């Protein structure tokens, strides 16, 4: 008689079957074979010298990707949300004020995280924030941190960054930028633009599996973080521990903090290698040209772009005004069933208003644009259109 009360699940007796699919939503994007193969390398111990060398390579790759010389540069175990929490939990203490620019869902999330640790948060709403508005808010609240999403994947907005870092520093405020949807696909230079904390995710333009989040902190940010009056609320995201694990603190030895995702490190290193081979400026230019080609094709079909100002359009994730009279869910379902191709609806404030198409990293090509345009044309022919 068995001593176990729960039987082995029948579903696990079947082999794993995963379909091949065109991942043209806002993320994750398709992972090239070269990166998949890198992730299949043998597992080593997370404190082995070979892994520390790989982590050092990753750090150098992130410094190139971010265009920064910050020594406090590493990759977190987790997705972009992890990096957002790491930045806020380390840089902000209870009772301090955070100013958040809301041009989509990610500003809302950042404000929520600040509130959870007892910080006062002020929202600066609107798709496109300007410096005068930021100045007025700063004079009222004197925030220690200003959060801005560079590439807002829920609305398709690319926010300008020039001058904001200098403005923040004038008021003794740290500048935090979310670049999950834009990094590698749109120009961004951390040091030149005065960004104090910058992070991204592995699953967008980098084309690596989700699960690692590159992040970097300026000396100004480190000075505030390492002179806190209280410990960060999260042990897992405590930068003093992470800095040691990643060899960023200058200490001769590393202390165990957590078991790093070894296979994910392999994949991330390979994705950074591919980007370095292409060249950052070449990647920016390719994404720009492909996005313009896509936007022209959409407008030639009679579809409207959600972001009307061309300079404010995110080149990696395009938001299309949901065609009047159609159910956007029927459109995305038809395209998935007919073409095995993912595009998505809106997120947060854009739910029901837009279709979102992401062409990032290896997916950013004119051939893929043509595939999406064909799928959309046929979807509009075959899906039901209301006469109301």
CA dihedral 302, 303, 304, 309 (to 10 degrees): -80
> Is residue 320 helix, strand or coil?
strand
Tokens of 186: 């749109």
Residue-by-residue DSSP string for 126-137: SSS--HHHHHHH
Give, as one character, the DSSP assignment of residue 313.
Answer: B
205 sits in the region (left: phi over 0; alpha: psi -120 to 50; else beta) called alpha
Q: Is 269 annotated as a binding residue?
A: no
Distance, C-alpha 53 to centroid of its chain: 25
Spatial distance between the Cα atoms of 325 and 385, rounded to a whole number of angstroms = 5
How far the first Cα of the chain sits from its last, in Å, is 66
How is residue 209 written in tokens?
């599996």
Q: How many CB atoms lie within 10 A of CB 71?
A: 18
- What is Dmax (Cα atoms) for the chain? 75
The string over 291-304, giving b where at least 16 C-beta atoms fall within 10 Å of a residue's C-beta and e elsewhere, is bebbbebbeeeebe
Say how far apart CA 265 and CA 117 lie, in whole Å: 30
Task: Tell me the C-alpha to C-alpha distance, in Å, between residue 243 and each of 199, 240, 247.
Answer: 15, 5, 6
Q: What is d(CA 75, CA 58) in angstroms, rounded to the nearest whole number?
A: 8
Segment (H or E) for 98: strand 97-102
Burial of 20 (C-beta count, 10 Å sphere; 0-12/13-18/19+):
exposed
Pairing of strands 317-321, 354-358: antiparallel
* Separation CA 183–CA 170 (nearest Å): 26
Cα–Cα distance for residue pair 328/107, rounded to 1 Å:
25
| Residue stretches of the annotated binding site | 356
| Residue stretches of the annotated binding site for substrate | 356
């Amino acid at each position: 008689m068995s001593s176990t009360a729960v039987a082995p699940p029948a579903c696990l007796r079947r082999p794993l079957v995963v379909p091949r699919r065109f991942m043209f939503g806002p993320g994750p994007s398709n992972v090239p074979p070269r990166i998949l193969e890198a992730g299949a390398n043998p597992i080593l111990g997370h404190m082995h010298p070979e892994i520390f060398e790989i982590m050092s390579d990753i750090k150098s790759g992130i410094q190139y990707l971010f265009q920064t010389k910050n020594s406090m540069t590493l990759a977190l175990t987790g997705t972009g949300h992890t990096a957002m929490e790491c930045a806020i939990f380390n840089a902000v203490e209870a009772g301090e004020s955070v100013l958040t620019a809301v041009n989509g869902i990610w500003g809302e999330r950042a404000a929520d995280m600040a509130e959870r640790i007892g910080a006062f948060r002020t929202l600066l709403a609107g798709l496109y924030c300007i410096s005068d508005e930021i100045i007025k808010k700063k004079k009222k609240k004197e925030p220690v941190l200003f959060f801005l999403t560079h590439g807002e994947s829920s609305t398709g907005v690319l926010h300008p960054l020039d001058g904001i870092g200098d403005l923040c520093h004038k008021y003794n405020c740290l500048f935090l930028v979310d670049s999950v949807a834009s990094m590698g696909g749109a120009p961004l230079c951390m040091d030149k633009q005065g960004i104090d904390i910058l992070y991204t995710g592995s699953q967008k333009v980098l084309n690596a599996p989700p699960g690692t989040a590159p992040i970097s902190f300026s000396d100004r940010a480190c000075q505030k973080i390492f002179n806190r009056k209280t410990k960060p609320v999260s042990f897992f995201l405590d930068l003093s521990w992470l800095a040691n694990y990643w060899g960023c603190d200058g200490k001769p030895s590393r202390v165990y903090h957590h078991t790093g995702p070894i296979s994910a490190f392999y994949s991330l290193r390979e994705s950074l290698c591919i980007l370095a081979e292409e060249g950052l400026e070449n990647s920016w230019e390719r994404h720009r040209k492909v996005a313009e080609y896509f936007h022209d094709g959409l407008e030639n079909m009679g579809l409207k772009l959600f972001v009307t100002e061309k300079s404010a359009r995110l080149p990696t994730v395009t938001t299309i005004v949901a065609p009047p009279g159609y159910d956007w869910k029927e459109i995305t379902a038809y395209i998935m069933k007919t073409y095995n191709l993912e595009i998505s609806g809106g997120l947060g404030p854009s739910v029901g208003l837009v279709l979102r198409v992401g062409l990032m990293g290896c997916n950013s090509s004119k051939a893929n644009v043509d595939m999406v345009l064909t799928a959309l044309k046929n979807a509009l022919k075959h899906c039901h259109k209301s006469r109301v």
